[in-house]
Structure 1
Amino acid sequence: MVSPRMLQTAYDYFWWHRLWLPKNLTWADLEDQDGRVYAKASDLYISIPLAFVFLIVRYIFEIYVASPFAKVLGVKDKVKLRAAHNPVLETFYKSCSKHPKQGVLENLSRSSKFTVRQVERWFRRRRNQDRPSLQKKFREASWRFTYYLLAFIAGMAVLADKPWFQDLREVWKEFPKQTMLPSQYWYYMISLGFYWSLLFRVAFDVKRKDFQEQIIHHVATIVLISFSWCANYIRVGTLVLVIHDASDFFLESAKMFNYAGWKETCNNLFVVFAFVFIITRIIIFPFWILHCTWVYPVEIYPPFFGYYFFNVMLWVLQCLHIFWAYLILGMAHKFLTGKLEQDERSDKDETDIPDEDEEEPTKNGLVNGHSLQNNNHHKAE
């Protein structure tokens, strides 16, 4: 059993000043004094209530703003044929696999008293039932678009008049004895609350091929924001935040118009997104921000654990940027060659697959069934 003394010892080691602060500095040096106000770890607690506020605001937004807007743009859910009730197939679907192999299909056929073809059709329809609707995806995209746009505007307002926005060496001037500004406090706490809300909702939102990468991104972002706050890396932290918000609202708007069927508008917005993403995440972030955090600090003080920890986490983000850039460039290549059929990180099992009998022409020459969905967009955080 863990004793209170052991917990206290672990706590003391975790917050040992030699880990997180430059040499010859202690946490006492970052206590409020002489009119200076410094960031404190206890400030981070407000981000959890803010996350739940975001969840509530998002719920209201999706009902009263996103849903009506979806109707204005003509976003309509496709009618999906429901799978017939069958306890045997339903149990297998939920507990074993959504994609049974041929040998299993034959066993299920015998136990369910369906033909093999009927079993295959049942699983196709059942998978289609679980796929997220266009309106659900539109609501999620419109919520993220609204946040990222407002966050980018707020970030630019916070940074535009700051000297370190023009000269990155100013980031480390008098570090870490840099007083905290109210605008920085709210920009940080609101951003952290938003990423907590994304993490809380990630299991319920539309799942994409890069689901695991998204979780890594959210966790790395939360750790980075929290650590940079506690160690007073606030100046560079605000720069990292605004860079990440710069391209995301273009992507989310492209998704929105894609779900509405406005393909040309979606394609144009995707091109803008790809350009801004490459500029901010593949050029500015590594060659300006990472250079600023890796090179400039050691000109002032010897490297320490916090210095390495902060840079490693930033490189984790950069690896994700490269991963997403690879997907974006792959999409751009397919887009230019006319081979683009689906978003490289689209929803898992997203495409509605028509039943075989629904693909056959009816007597009047019409074709029933669901068409393949073209998702000309990509998400990067």
Structure 2
Amino acid sequence: MATAAAGALGLLWGWLWSERFWLPQNVSWADFEGPGDGYGYPRARHILSVFPVAAGIFSVRLLFERFIAKPCALHVGIQDSGPYPNAILEKVFLSITKYPDEKRLEGLSKQLDWDVRKIQCWFRHRRNQDKPPTLTKFCESMWRFTFYLCIFCYGIKFLWSSPWFWDIRQCWHSYPFQDFLIMFVHHLATIGLITFSYINNMVRVGTLVMCLHDASDFLLEAAKLANYAKYQRLCDTLFVIFSAVFVVTRLGIYPFWILNTTFFESWEIIGPYPSWWLFNGLLLILQVLHVIWSYLIVRIAFKALIRGKVSKDDRSDVESSSEEEDVATNTRSACGSSSSNGANRVNGHMGSSYWAEE
């Protein structure tokens, strides 16, 4: 029984790591065992280091948001606000209704000797407590801005100091050795590309793709920070710059440099093989998403230029009275931010932020 299970596991393992699928002709996994050109080749087991590294980065993020980002938010005047506590209203909110009708409002008004309008305001602010406050979003954006900027600068330094920076074709020539549904597809494609490109020793293409994606991310986070701090003009300016960088890198450099090399030049150098179709298919999926996001971004940036108004964050939406809504409709200018759903419609691979139209 144990022998049969071991044999089945061996067959499955061999199928998963089939050289016919992953590697070009005349290349085997054994070719990766020794150092090449003075450097060690990637190993599949290196991927396991992702988990402790992720835990370490998460710990750094917690410390950064608490001891650096939060004081900065308080310094620019962002406060962690909420409704003042009231035991009676809290009990009604939690156990009876979050949207009291007129009759209940009148009863609570008599019981507390409060104006009905004041009670409505309390319930509105209490409902909004379940949404991320501006302070939280500022801290999140400041962390992402810092992280993306550092990663991008490191990537540029790494690429610039590498001998293959000026000729991406060398990465192929030197082989042996890249709404919720949209974001779900995007994350699957990017995780697959990062993992497979490393295991398959296509790290040069993978590094260039990640560097291109990182080029605009920190600008988006900088625009969010300006929005939360209520620097509207700076927010609009940064968002327009972000839009330009996004379009140039993902509709210009990415297809005409990266995809041109991975499709046409690699076809001439080594020819197609099974995993070649997988990698290029994932890269094409990213390009389709780039087109969709670019359309959304350009539309919002155009509005910012024409009307001086960048659309706000879905998570920033708060319930307001009819008077407040009238004022907001006519006068408010809000610069967008992040949301956990469909966020990267404009932010590409990063995860959890997007600009939604008002």
Mark yes or no: TM-score above 0.5.
yes
Structure 2 CA distance for partners of 1:33 and 1:52, relative to 1, 3 Å: closer
Alignment partners' CA distance in 2, 1:226 and 1:330 = 34
Gaps of 5+ in 2: 107-115, 338-345, 350-358
Instruction: Tell me whether 1:220 sits opposite 2:199 in the alignment.
Output: no
1:30 aligns with 2:35: no
Deviation at 1:120, TM superposition (A): 8.7
1:278 aligns with 2:247: yes
Pick aligned residue for 1:245 from 203, 208, 214: 214
Secondary structure, counterpart of 1:165 in structure 2: coil
Which residue, 295, 301, 312 being the options, matches 2:264? 295
Structure 1 position 374 matched with structure 2 position 334: yes
2:165 match: secondary structure: helix
CA displacement at 1:372 relative to structure 2:
5.8
Deviates more, 1:76-85 or 1:242-251: 76-85
Equivalent-residue separation in structure 2 for 1:166 and 1:226 (angstroms)? 24
1:191 aligned residue:
none
- Asked whether the 8 Å contact 2:34–2:40 carries over to 1, the reply is yes
Are the structure 2 counterparts of residues 328 and 359 from structure 1 closer, same or farther at C-alpha, using a change threshold of 3 Å? closer
CA distance 1:373–1:137, change in 2 (3 Å): farther
Letter in 1 for 2:221: E
**In 2 relative to 1, CA 167–33 (structure 1 residues): closer, same or farther, beyond 3 Å?**
closer
**Is the counterpart of residue 262 in structure 1 residue 231 in structure 2?**
yes
Count of residues in correspondence between the two structures: 323
Q: Report the 3-state secondary structure (helix = DSSP H, G, I; strand = E; otherwise coil) of the residue aligned with 2:314.
A: coil
Aligned to 1:39: 42
Deviation, structure 1 residue 216? 3.6
Give the SS at the match of 1:246: helix
One-letter code aligned to 1:171: C
User: Aligned-pair distance for 1:294?
Assistant: 0.9
After TM superposition, list the pairs within 5 Å mapping 1:1-381 onto structure 2: 3-33=5-35, 35-80=38-83, 84-86=89-91, 90=94, 124-177=124-177, 210-338=179-307, 340=309, 342-343=311-312, 346-348=313-315, 350-356=316-322, 359=324, 374-376=334-336, 379-381=347-349
3-state secondary structure, aligned to 2:24: coil
Give the residue type in structure 2 aligned to 1:72.
H
* Counterpart residue identity of residue 190, structure 2: T
Given that residues 235 and 335 in structure 2 are in contact (C-alpha distance below 8 angstroms), is that contact kept between their aligned partners in structure 1?
no
Distance 2:184 2:90 in 1: 35
Q: Quick one: distance in 1 between partners of 2:95 and 2:321?
A: 21
Offset at 1:8? 2.8
Aligned to 1:194: none
The Cα of 1:217 is off from its aligned counterpart by: 3.0
The answer to whether the 8 Å contact 1:254/1:265 transfers is yes
* Partner Cα distance (1:8, 1:122) in 2: 64
Which residue identity is paired with 1:144?
R
Structure of higher RCO (CA pairs closer than 8 Å, 6+ residues apart): 1
Runs of 4+ in 1 over 6 A off after TM superposition: 117-123
After superposition, give the CA deviation of every residue in 1:74-118 in whole Å (9 maximum; x if it has no partner). 22345447793356x64798xxxx9xxxxxx8xx859x9568x99
TM-aligned CA distance change 1:298 to 1:214, over 3 Å: same
Q: In structure 2, the residue corresponding to 1:228 is in which secondary structure?
A: helix
8 Å contact kept, 2:21–2:275: yes
| 1:212 Cα offset (Å) | 4.8
Determine the C-alpha separation between the residues in 2 that align with 1:230 and 1:79.
49
Native 8 Å contact 2:172 2:270 kept in 1: no
Normalised to the residue count of structure 2, the TM-score between the two structures is 0.79
Cα distance in 2 between the residues matched to 1:220 and 1:150: 24
Q: Is the 8 A contact 1:62 1:139 kept in 2?
A: yes
Per the TM alignment, residue 352 of structure 1 is displaced from its structure 2 partner at its CA by: 1.6
Q: Which amino acid aligns with 2:335?
A: N
Percent identical among aligned pairs is 39
Question: In 2 relative to 1, CA 71–147 (structure 1 residues): closer, same or farther, beyond 3 Å?
Answer: same
Specify the alignment match of 1:364 in structure 2. Answer: none
Describe the shift of the 1:147–1:173 C-alpha distance in structure 2 as closer, same or farther (beyond 3 A).
same
Q: 1:359 to 1:248 in 2, by over 3 A?
A: closer
| 3-state DSSP of counterpart to 1:149 | helix
Letter in 1 for 2:54: A
Any conservation in 2 of the 1:23–1:302 contact (CA below 8 Å)?
A: no
Offset from partner CA, 1:178-229 (integer Å, 9 cap, x none): xxxxxxxxxx9xxxxxxxxxxxxxxxxxxxxx45544443332222111000
Structure 1 residue 7: deviation in Å? 3.1
Q: Which runs of 5+ in 1 are unaligned?
A: 99-104, 178-187, 189-209, 361-366
RMSD of Structure 2 on Structure 1 (CA): 3.4
Distance 2:290 2:140 in 1: 22
2:341 aligned partner: none
Structure 1 residue 59, shift from structure 2 partner: 0.2
Q: Residue 164 and residue 36 in structure 1: after superposition, are their counterparts in 2 closer, same or farther (change >3 A)? A: closer
1: CA distance, partners of 2:151 / 2:47? 19
Structure 1 pair 339–38 and aligned structure 2 pair: CA distance change class (3 A): same
Structure 2 counterpart of 1:101: none
Give the Cα separation in 1 of the matches to 2:279 and 2:127.
43
What is the one-letter code of the residue matched to 1:143?
A: W
**C-alpha separation between the residues in 2 aligned to 1:91 and 1:6?**
56
- Is contact 1:80-1:128 (8 Å) kept? no
Q: Please say if residues 145 and 253 of structure 1, whose CA atoms lie closer than 8 Å, have aligned partners that are also in contact.
A: yes
The residue that corresponds to 1:196 in the other structure is none
